[in-house]
Chain A
Amino acid sequence: AQSVTQLDSHVSVSEGTPVLLRCNYSSSYSPSLFWYVQHPNKGLQLLLKYTSAATLVKGINGFEAEFKKSETSFHLTKPSAHMSDAAEYFCVVRRNQGGKLIFGQGTELSVKP
């Protein structure tokens, strides 16, 4: 069975400081992994995805994530937080093409001025 665990329900950073949102996954197969962002009362926007190519994946808005098979992790990072980054972030795993997405419970990111 596949699952994904987001290790922090809430992360608070100051504007201009680094962001780290942690995600561990469990999968018997080579997974596809995604990070989605959801701003308040909005839909889901894809930040980045890993599909067994390069282990360091660059996404939109300066975010990136590194797939580490040995640690079963896919943490999301950004060097410098912006106020507009405040949102809910979801780590997501999918087993195969067209397969179902399994969502983590989300991490709320707050950015202080």
Chain B
Amino acid sequence: NAGVTQTPKFRILKIGQSMTLQCAQDMNHNYMYWYRQDPGMGLKLIYYSVGAGITDKGEVPNGYNVSRSTTEDFPLRLELAAPSQTSVYFCASSEGAGYTFGSGTRLTVV
């Protein structure tokens, strides 16, 4: 099993550009999450979803959007990239007590 797959692994964006970070899981988990990790910090929750068609804001949702049209996919959208969005982004899924993280997307906005 692949677990949680994130693409791309690295990306450089110019200010004002948009992009979508992809996240897919093959474990049939209902719960999925997007976190960001800034240097020297823990992870902060951006958005989460408890199932297909249901999403909700986390701690730091401003500047981001998500959708959950299927159980497997949970893309994160940046509409107008800003330098403050330079970070490492982690997608995760869970069911019961088990959490599985993707390997991360390192995004730089210049």
Contact = CB atoms under 8 A, between A and B. Distances in A.
B44 interface: yes
Considering residues A42, A51, A97, which has the most beta carbons from chain B within 10 angstroms of its beta carbon? A97
B97 interface: yes
Interface residues of B, number: 24
B51 to A, nearest CB: 10
Interface string B38-50: 0011111100101
B67 interface: no
Q: Chain B CB within 10 Å — which of A32, A44, A97, A98 has the most?
A: A98
- Chain B interface SS verdict (over half): strand
B43 A46 contact: no
Contact of A46 (B30, B95, B99, B102): B99
A106 B42 CA distance: 6
Contact of B95 (A98, A103, A105, A106): A98
B43 A51 contact: no
Given A32-B97, A98-B95, A103 B31 contact: no
Given A49-B97, A90-B42, A106-B42, 7 more contacts: A42-B103, A43-B103, A90-B43, A100-B45, A103-B44, A104-B42, A106-B40
